[in-house]
Structure 1
């Protein structure tokens, strides 16, 4: 009996052990999981802002304006005689000139020598005849002189090489260098097709390119410290019937030009003639013939004014290598970068009476 009980106990122990092993599950392997993140919640590093690159300063400047350019200017200056008779206004292409000289031609009529270099318009005019002081000024600029007609005694010297030139009398209405317009009567209707002047010059073995000596221009710092009296309106009275005026535009820092109260503007585009500098020189004028042609002294120097950025100041002018240059206290007066208009007026009445400003 005791043996039987012992056997039963052993059997129960084995049975319980077997049941215990079957009830156990295999342990599940730990699975590696990537942590879930909220990209918006992450603290993002601030992006580094790139500073805008400064535009490099142009390597070259135009000699008549001081305006920068990426290419060296080698094309020759074109000096064109522009008509200013009231029947010739408004002119075409005048507003594109870098520098303009205004001299009296005959009687109470002025005429322009317009210097084109940085911008060569397709058409300019009306083009008029030559005078000695315009020729000398063009020569001093090493320019190609473009005109239409001249007195016989001048034409002899011009053909002998006084200055490299193209005379519209020899190309009259050829439709390549000169053309006549029907909406005006001669002599106020001759126009130059200006870009073609270089090709015609080459045909005549004249230089199309030239080394240039620049006028003196202000730095940015100097422009901020211009001195002088206020001059937002400048008036020049050559005669009772020849009145030139300039009105200052402070926003653009330029002067708009007027002839006899009429704005100087382009015939086709109506773009106004606006300049950064006005030079006014007084010098001797003398009538030399019954046609009221003049001798004008370009050599002796004299008094004048320089007008820029709403200011006017007295200067003296001197002849430097043939050019009328402004001086202050013995030093060349610098120009503001941009276009320049030069008014040359007689000693009588002179700048004290002929020029007013406010």
Structure 2
């Protein structure tokens, strides 16, 4: 047998011992094998919460704040309605979104009834235009219908941006009934609206601030009120009594319940009272009485009655075609309840307001 040299045998022995040590004990970290680096799996991204889609604002009728079931279209129609004893009971007043009461010659009151959310089949009796009507209806940018009137008053209607719809000028939609003249002119409001020209097709802007969502009408923070008793003139003395069973204010004329031609009492969700200046104009009526004008641009005291309660406020109006702004004692806008509103224009000097 061949004998290995001593130096080679020693080297083989040392190599054997090192191999045994590596197999049985810890060793320094060995170099990584020459392979492609392994990519650690990406950490899962946190689950993102989807941004909720905001609920669309409910569609509301602009003059009442009541919810609409479809898109709001079409212009507002303002109509002069008579309120003399011979004119009662009137037709169509309960369907109006807004009704303004004003004093005309002889101390008689007359209405400007505004239709938009509800259009009845008949309204009347229709009477003539007066100098304050452009300031009442101008902010609506719609139509103003009447039986006739003096030239300067009619011109002022057109100058306020309203479309003139006059019975005396031959507009369609008016007709006479069996009542004695001049209390016998009635109208089909659908026919009146059907004459709206291209410049008067848009819905009206809101005329007052109306409570929405969780907001409360401003008057509910005021004092209790069961009656709003008004003196517009010596012969025009309307009042509004709160009717809990109706949830409405019910109108009386000089202590007599005011009814429509169908027998329904005249009712309102909101009653707004404005103290206004009334001045005499150089114009006269057929009997020689000077035509009064309610000054619509300005400011003054106001009261708002809603839900059997009432609150004091101030009113202001900056121009003929600007709406009336109601402001509370806190400087904030006064909010009405959704529903129809009657606006009473009470002369500062000769009228009175008692709320109790």
Q: Report the TM-score range of the alignment, normalised by the length of the smaller protein.
A: 0.7 to 0.9
Residue matched to 2:60: 61
Farther-moved stretch of structure 1 (305-314 vs 222-231): 222-231
Contact kept in structure 2, 1:304 and 1:314, CA below 8 Å: yes
Summarize the alignment of residues 315-334 of structure 1 with structure 2, pairs less than 5 Å apart.
315-319=313-317, 322-328=322-328, 329-334=330-335
CA shift in 2, pair 1:224/1:78, >3 Å:
closer
* TM-score where L is the length of structure 1: 0.76
After superposition, the Cα gap between the structure-2 partners of 1:81 and 1:214, relative to the gap in structure 1 and judged at 3 Å, is closer
1:179 and 2:178 matched: no
> 2:19 maps to what in 1?
none
The Cα of 1:233 is off from its aligned counterpart by 1.4
Return the alpha-carbon distance in structure 2 between the equivalents of residues 245 and 288 of structure 1: 28
Runs of 5+ unmatched residues, structure 1: 1-55
Q: Which residue of 2 aligns with 1:131?
A: 130
Residue number in structure 2 paired with 1:309: 307
Distance change (3 Å), C-alpha of 1:142 and 1:158: closer
For 2:80, the equivalent position in structure 1 comes to 81
The alpha carbon displacement at 1:283 in A equals 1.5
Residue among 275, 283, 287 paired with 2:276: 283
- Higher RCO structure (Cα 8 Å, ≥6 apart): 2
Quote how far apart the aligned CAs of 1:57 are.
9.2
- Structure 1 pair 65–160 and aligned structure 2 pair: CA distance change class (3 A): closer
**Distance change >3 Å, CA 212–CA 357, structure 1 → 2:** closer
- Residue 347 (str. 1) matches residue 340 (str. 2): no
Structure 2 unaligned regions, length at least 5: 1-54
Runs of 4+ in 1 over 6 A off after TM superposition: none
Deviation string, structure 1 residues 276-331 (Cα, Å, up to 9, x no partner):
11111112111123422112221220011111111111100011552222110222
- For this pair of structures, how many residues does the alignment match? 293
Matches within 5 A, 1:1-358: 59-158=58-157, 162-171=161-170, 177-182=173-178, 184-202=179-197, 205-210=198-203, 212-213=205-206, 215-219=208-212, 221-223=214-216, 226-267=220-261, 269-289=262-282, 290=284, 291-319=289-317, 322-328=322-328, 329-350=330-351, 354-358=352-356
CA RMSD of aligned residues (A): 2.3
Provide the secondary structure at the position in 2 that maps to 1:71.
Answer: coil
Which range moves more in the overlay, 80-89 or 243-252? 243-252
Partner SS for 1:68: coil
8 Å contact from structure 1 (residues 66, 215) kept in 2: no
Distance in structure 1 (CA, Å) of the matches to 2:86 and 2:129: 19
CA distance in 1, matches of 2:314, 2:184: 38
After TM superposition, give the deviation of residue 81 of structure 1 in Å: 0.4
Distance 2:84 2:290 in 1: 15
- CA 1:130–1:88 in 2, change beyond 3 Å: closer, same or farther? same
Q: Partners of 2:253 and 2:267 in 1: how far apart?
A: 13
Instruction: Give the TM-score, by structure 2 length.
Output: 0.76
Give, in angstroms, the shift of residue 345 of structure 1: 1.0
Structure 2 residue matching 1:344: 3-state secondary structure: strand
